[in-house]
């Protein structure tokens, strides 16, 4: 009997391509307990994003072959209906990405985009959505929320755009937030602010976070547990203090040696 919110067992993902069907994610297994932050760290191409997209079932079924079991709050996401999976993505698991601009519509104000999510996915009236949009902007500490809601995305800095994406992700009060390199495109000082925000929200909302990064410094800031991936495999998985204090795998030691 497991208490994990998310339980990934023997996940294997391969893409049909020139080299046949070589897996890019091999036998990946890990759990995320409710209310905990787990980091997946590893160099570019190690299979971090593919793992998270497989959890969200956002890989094209025509080109990707997915094996293994992904259990979330008692349901097997690999066999869930498409409608069931849409409900999970709309209400239970939210995801944010490296470049917030790609997820925002450049020709619609921030306020309209937030309101649209709240009206179409959460059944709010226009008035309720407008009030909730202000509340969410405050929640992610965007100053002068009401004025910012009238802005188009290009008027906001990268850090502010990422805050808007976090606000959208929080709009459904998710049990799990998957953050795929959410600070990689930002300046170092802004990175620290976004990490602080995610950490505070995680505590206040009591949600679980799967935080994907290539940066061990970020891991130290945010994660209860750390998973190290190399060439599509997990080479180390443990409490963050344990990984930093007594790394077992040579690749983990190399990653730690590179931390300033
Ligand atoms: P990262 O750890 O940088 O997030 P990814 O999970 O994006 O790495 O990618 C892992 C491997 O899978 C890489 O070799 C990448 O080229 C390959 N890959 C990712 N997406 C696809 C795809 N849609 N089709 C074919 N190969 C892919
Ligand atoms: Mg990636």
pLDDT digits (tens, 9 = 90+) for 206-252: 999 999 999 999 999 999 999 999 999 999 999 999 999 999 999 99
* Nearest protein CA to atom 25 of ligand 1, as residue: 15
Q: Which ligand is nearest to the CA of 23?
A: 1
Terminal Cα-to-Cα distance of the chain (whole angstroms): 41
Q: Which residues surround ligand 2, an ion (CB under 5 A)?
A: 49
* Nearest protein CA to atom 24 of ligand 1, as residue: 15
> Are 180 and 99 within 8 A, CB to CB?
no
Q: How confident is the model at residue 259 (pLDDT cuts 50, 70, 90)?
A: confident
Q: Is the distance from the beta carbon of residue 244 to the nearest atom of ligand 1 less than 6 Å?
A: no
C-alpha separations of 153 from 22, 70, 160, 161 in Å:
40, 35, 9, 7
Q: Is the distance from the beta carbon of residue 48 to the nearest atom of ligand 1 less than 6 Å?
A: yes
Half-sphere exposure of 25 (CA within 13 A, CB side): 27
Per-residue pLDDT tens over the stretch 82-121: 999 999 998 999 999 988 777 899 999 999 999 999 999 8
Total-model pTM: 0.95
Per-residue pLDDT tens over the stretch 165-209: 999 999 999 999 999 999 999 999 999 999 999 999 999 999 999
Q: Which two tokens stand for residue 227?
A: 């998973």
Q: How many CB atoms are located within 10 Å of the residue 116 CB?
A: 15
User: What is the C-alpha separation between 109 and 61, in angstroms, rounded?
Assistant: 34
C-alpha separations of 236 from 40, 53, 98, 184 in Å:
10, 21, 24, 22
Secondary structure (3-state) at 107: coil
Which of 2, 9, 55 is closest to 212 using CA atoms? 55
Model-level ipTM above the cut of 0.85? yes
- Model pLDDT, residue 17: 75
Half-sphere exposure of 185 (CA within 13 A, CB side): 16
User: What is the C-alpha separation between 199 and 160, in angstroms, rounded?
Assistant: 17
CA of 147 to the centre of ligand 1 (A): 39
> Are 133 and 179 within 8 A, CB to CB?
no
Which of 161, 224, 157 is closest to 5 using CA atoms? 224
DSSP structure class, residue 153: G
Please return the burial class of 234, using the count of CB atoms within 10 Å of its CB with bins 0-12, 13-18 and 19+: buried
DSSP structure class, residue 47: S
Q: Is the distance from the beta carbon of residue 17 to the nearest atom of ligand 1 less than 6 Å?
A: yes
């Amino acid at each position: 009997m497991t208490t994990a919110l998310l339980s990934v067992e023997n996940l294997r993902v391969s893409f049909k391509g020139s080299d046949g069907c070589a897996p890019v994610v091999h036998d990946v297994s890990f759990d995320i307990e409710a209310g905990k932050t787990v980091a997946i760290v590893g160099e570019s191409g190690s299979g971090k994003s593919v793992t998270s997209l497989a959890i969200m079932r956002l890989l094209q079924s025509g080109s990707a072959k997915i094996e293994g079991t992904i259990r979330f709050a008692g349901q097997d996401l690999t066999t869930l209906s498409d409608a069931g999976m849409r409900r999970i993505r709309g209400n239970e698991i939210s995801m944010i990405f490296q470049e917030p601009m790609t997820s925002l519509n450049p020709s619609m104000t921030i306020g309209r985009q937030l309101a649209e999510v709240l009206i179409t996915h959460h059944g709010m009236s226009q008035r309720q959505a407008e009030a909730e949009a202000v509340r969410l902007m405050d929640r992610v500490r965007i100053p002068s929320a009401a004025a910012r809601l009238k802005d188009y995305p290009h008027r906001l800095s990268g850090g502010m755009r990422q805050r808007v994406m976090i606000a959208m992700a929080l709009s459904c009060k998710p049990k799990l937030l998957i953050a795929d390199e959410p600070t990689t495109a930002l300046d170092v000082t802004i990175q620290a602010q976004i990490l602080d925000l995610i950490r505070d929200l995680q505590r206040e909302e009591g949600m679980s976070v799967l935080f994907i990064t290539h940066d061990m410094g970020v891991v130290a800031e945010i994660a209860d547990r750390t998973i190290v991936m190399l060439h599509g495999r997990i080479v180390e998985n443990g409490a963050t203090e344990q990984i930093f204090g007594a790394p077992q795998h040579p690749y983990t030691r190399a990653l730690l040696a590179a931390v300033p």
